[in-house]
Structure 1
Amino acid sequence: MPTTTDPEAHKPETDTATTTATTTATETTTATDAANRVGLRIAAGCGFGLLLVCAFLTVAAVLDDAISGDGVSSGFSTAAFWAVALSGVAGLAALVAPRKGLVIAQYVLALGAPVLALLD
């Protein structure tokens, strides 16, 4: 039985085409994931601008109801301000760990806040 000092002599042969295809697929997936993360972070950042506008509209709707309405706020006003706060939390979470669901939650909560305030 011949002995060799070459460590590669006892390794099984691997197909270089399969290895190359796997490496190319991994690099493509990594590049796509990085682009998705950047896009989600940009969307979350833009959501803060929307949040600012929606917070202003929420405050305006609640103050209008306080002045011209019955002067008593109901649960909808409280829910509207909670939606504004939770939208900000979801936006920060989406900036830290970009997930599509967090960005969607940020936008839904931001747009829902003025609607809730108008229901009061």
Structure 2
Amino acid sequence: MDDVDEIVIIVEGTSDKRKVQPIIREPVDIICTNGTISFNKMDELIEQLTNRDVYILVDADEAGEKLRKQFKREFPDAEHLYIDRSYREVATAPSKHLASILVAADIDVYTEYLEKG
């Protein structure tokens, strides 16, 4: 493909992106929805993400679940990654927890994140 990463991870906010990005070892697009997503933006994403591996990683709260439902409708083939509900937000989840979720989805991560306590 022409300079486009095959893997796309959709998160809610820039703090989520900043938390996840340094953990991942391979080239990945991380797209922020900023909590909500308009009909037009969703259409753009559908067009942009066709034939790519899409992962949804959103907060374990009401807003995150609402967004997840929307993505389940529009991207039925996307893989949904879930943080432990006790952490509530991707941005506040421990890096080790996020790394283990990403590895389970066959996303290459820096091993030091799997070893951190």
The two structures have a TM-score, normalised by structure 1, of 0.22
Higher helix share: 1
**Which protein shows a greater Rg?**
1
Higher strand share: 2
The two structures have a TM-score, normalised by structure 2, of 0.22
Q: Which has the higher contact order (CA 8 A, sep 6+)?
A: 1
